[in-house]
Structure 1
């Protein structure tokens, strides 16, 4: 089974495990923020490639932690 090229609003909510609601997506569309979308009549579709791009643009890059020995973490006696 191939991956769909477009997701519905409900599928986008499921993709983000309910952490982004339909209402949030609606508000973002009205404010022209968030992931890009296509509107055909009343249907709102999100290209999977645009969701992937949006995910990457929101990726938080963390620096590697400094490697410390156990002695440096031990309280002084």
Structure 2
């Protein structure tokens, strides 16, 4: 079975592990923010390709940690 091209509201909520609520998605749609969607009659569908694009646009890039050799790490002493 192939992956769906569109997700329903409930499927989008599951995709984001219930961290985005139906109300949040509704608010985002009314403000035209968040992931793109298609409305056919009363049905609201989210194209998977648009959800993937939205995920990438919200990706927070981090810098790699610079590892120093143990013998060059300076340690601070705390005097009380």
Indicate the residue corresponding to 2:45 in structure 1.
45
1:20–1:73 distance in 2 versus 1, CA, 3 Å: farther
Aligned residues: 76
Deviations 1:14-72 (A, max 9, x none): 00000011110000000000000000010000000000000000001111111122341
Runs of 4+ in 1 over 4 A off after TM superposition: 73-76
Indicate the residue corresponding to 1:2 in structure 2.
2
Q: Distance in 2 between matches of 1:44 and 1:73?
A: 57
Indicate the residue corresponding to 2:65 in structure 1.
65
RMSD: 1.2
Structure 2: state its 5+ residue gaps: none
1:73–1:14 distance in 2 versus 1, CA, 3 Å: farther
